[in-house]
Amino acid sequence: ETMKRERRPRVLVSRKIPEAGLELLRQHCSVTVGAEDGMLKREELLELIQDQDAFLSMLTDRVDGELMDVAPELKVVSNYAVGYDNIDVEEAARRGIAVTNTPGVLTEATADLAWALLMDAARRVTEGDRLNRAGQWHEWAPMFHLGKEVTGSTLGIIGFGRIGRAVAKRAAGFNMKVVVHSRTPLDPEEEKKWGVTFLSLTELLQQSDFVSIHAPYTEETHHLIGAKELAQMKSSAYLINTARGALVDEPALVEALQTGTIAGAGLDVYEDEPRLAPGLKELDNVVLAPHLGSATWETRRAMALRAAKNIVAELVGIGESTRVLG
């Protein structure tokens, strides 16, 4: 019975994302794209966020109390990622700001990339490519550029959520033994269902030929893999990290790779991205991907839609949102 038109909710999208997400947002909201090309600088973000109802954030945006202080209208932070360690979730909860992420849509792409790194590190593909381009391949030879056999080896998965399980599924095709460690132990039924064996972290590290990390980054998982853990691994083993850089103590990893404590590593994430820890890029026994886990056309489009739907659900009440922490 009121003639008053509600104002359209205002959404700041940190930087350009696939069009499908922007299109959906524009149907319901007034949309500002912070940076058309490149990353939003902190000062620009703090300026643009002030009168916004929602923020579609990147994992490179720090969403903390300072930001929330200058954005009194903010009702939802929709992270364009499944991980949300860039967001002070407790601070948001205190202020009644909903925090959402993009679970599910990037599971397969990230599991695929973990496998790409595992295979690359084991069979020294990128290292061989470098050597080839440098004109250092002289002839096929019985003992030339040998690596580690993947089929039939033991894979240790740390963290057994969606992505860890998708990695385990792929291991079946390689006849691998799969051992798992996670925050919540698996019961025998789950072990059977997934064809895996639950182990303590130490046992997993001691038994695995490949260790792949699929845990969230939290205070508890900070430097989960440090010098002590690396020393527990086989000297013939490989570490794969597609989760978050700070799960691994990088200087300790560099040393382990230099001294042969472990055979090699495949990394997609770094503690201080895009900066690489000193010594890392000088090593031949590590594959260094630039945070590509979810980087497929299909997945990035699905993430854009999920992140946009979360904002529409929270602000307009259409559909369901995927909030973090229940």
Element (H, E) at 308: helix 297-316
Q: Between 255 and 273, whose beta carbon lies closer to ligand DGY?
A: 273
Q: Is 320 a catalytic residue?
A: no
Give the C-alpha separation, 222 to 104, whole Å: 24
Residues 237, 210: contact at Cβ < 8 Å? Answer: yes
Q: Is 26 a catalytic residue?
A: no
Residue 296 DSSP code: S
Q: Compute how many residues bind ligand DGY; rule: CB under 6 A.
A: 7
| Residue 294 found at the interface with ligand DGY (CB under 6 A) | yes
Q: Residues 168 to 197: which contact ligand DGY by CB under 6 A? A: none
| Residue 18 found at the interface with ligand DGY (CB under 6 A) | no
Q: Which stretch binds ligand DGY (CB under 6 A): 47-55, 81-89, 171-179, 247-255?
A: 81-89
Residues 112, 91: contact at Cβ < 8 Å? Answer: no
Give least dist CB 244 to ligand DGY, A: 7
Q: Between 207 and 242, whose beta carbon lies closer to ligand DGY?
A: 242
Of the candidate residues 25, 49, 56, 59, the single one contacting ligand DGY (CB under 6 A): 59
Give least dist CB 295 to ligand DGY, A: 8
Compute how many other C-beta atoms are within 10 angstroms of the C-beta atom of residue 264: 24
| Residue 252 found at the interface with ligand DGY (CB under 6 A) | no
Whole-number Cα distances in Å, 60 to 93, 160, 227, 308, 317? 21, 25, 28, 18, 28
Give least dist CB 18 to ligand DGY, A: 13
Of the candidate residues 11, 12, 81, 287, the single one contacting ligand DGY (CB under 6 A): 81
15, 124, 165, 244: the catalytic one is: 244
Give least dist CB 214 to ligand DGY, A: 11
Of the candidate residues 21, 83, 159, 266, the single one contacting ligand DGY (CB under 6 A): 83
Strands 54-57 and 10-15: parallel
| Residue 82 found at the interface with ligand DGY (CB under 6 A) | yes
Q: Residues 94 to 113: which contact ligand DGY by CB under 6 A? A: 106
Residue with tokens 């792929």: 170
**Helix/strand/coil for 248:** strand
Give least dist CB 261 to ligand DGY, A: 27
What's the longest Cα–Cα distance across the chain? 84
Q: Is 244 a catalytic residue?
A: yes
Give the C-alpha separation, 133 to 121, whole Å: 18
15, 181, 291, 306: the catalytic one is: 291
Q: How buried is 300 (Cβ within 10 angstroms: 0-12 exposed, 13-18 middle, 19+ buried)?
A: buried
- Provide the CB-side half-sphere exposure for 294 (13 A, CA): 21
Whole-number Cα distances in Å, 126 to 155, 276, 285? 21, 18, 10
95, 191, 273, 323: the catalytic one is: 273
Q: Between 59 and 233, whose beta carbon lies closer to ligand DGY?
A: 59
| Cα dihedral 102/162/238/240 (nearest 10) | 0
Residue with tokens 């033994």: 177
Give least dist CB 247 to ligand DGY, A: 12
Q: Between 101 and 207, whose beta carbon lies closer to ligand DGY?
A: 101
**Helix/strand/coil for 10:** strand
Q: Between 82 and 98, whose beta carbon lies closer to ligand DGY?
A: 82
Of the candidate residues 117, 293, 312, 321, the single one contacting ligand DGY (CB under 6 A): 293
Strands 98-100 and 76-79: parallel
Residues that bind ligand DGY (CB under 6 A): 59, 81-83, 106, 293-294
The set of catalytic residues is: 244, 273, 291
